[in-house]
């Protein structure tokens, strides 16, 4: 059935390193 994985929030940085 639908696999259960703990709810997860990922923050994706869109600007950079420079």
Is 2 one of the binding residues for another protein (CB under 8 A)? yes
Verify binding: residue 1, another protein, rule CB under 8 A: yes
- CA 6 from centroid of its chain's CA atoms: 12
15 binds another protein (CB under 8 A): yes
- Minimum separation from the CB atom of position 18 to another protein (A): 14
- Note whether 8 binds another protein by CB under 8 A: yes
Task: Supply the minimum distance, in Å, between the C-beta of residue 16 and another protein.
Answer: 11
Burial of 6 (0-12, 13-18, 19+ CB in 10 A): exposed
Q: What angle do CA 7, 11, 15 make, to 5 degrees?
A: 165
């Amino acid at each position: 059935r639908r696999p259960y994985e703990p709810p997860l929030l990922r923050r994706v940085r869109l600007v950079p390193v420079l």
